[in-house]
Structure 1
Amino acid sequence: MENRTARLTLLIDPKKKQIFEEICAQQDLTSSQVVRRLIHQYIIEHAGSRELPEWLSAPTARIDHPLK
């Protein structure tokens, strides 16, 4: 799995951010966990013929916390 992290800064409407964080909290997830999961899914769905590392292309039984 990854062994380093990088920062990603997003600009988002404050009202959307508040709603997003409330929904994440209701699911006992952090906003970072959800964004990482979304990015992971996006990469898998749009990688095309790009070769991905095994840890990224393997089925994800658990990434931080399963999403419903």
Structure 2
Amino acid sequence: MKENRTARLTLLIDPEKKKLFEEICASKDLTPSQVVRRLIRQYVQENAGNRTLPEWLKDND
């Protein structure tokens, strides 16, 4: 099962880093949102400790 709701995450980033990040994402045919979601999923998986994770969060898609 996948996430079925969305929530907005706003962050501040240096404009030059943002531009470079967007260029790299585009070169890999990915949106910045896809990359950030992957990074967050990976971070949660690696740092969840003893927390029980939902099955959809355990997948590495």
| TM-score when normalising by structure 1 | 0.85
* Alignment gaps of 5+ in structure 2: none
| TM-score when normalising by structure 2 | 0.94
Residue pairs, 1:1-68, within 5 angstroms: 1-58=2-59, 60=60, 62=61
What secondary structure sits across from 1:41 in the alignment? helix
Give the Cα separation in 1 of the matches to 2:28 and 2:36: 14
Identity fraction in percent: 72
* Alignment gaps of 5+ in structure 1: 63-68
Give the Cα separation in 2 of the matches to 1:23 and 1:57: 26
Detail structure 1 runs of 4+ shifted over 4 Å in the superposition: none
Q: CA RMSD in A?
A: 0.7
Give the helix-richer structure, 1 or 2.
2
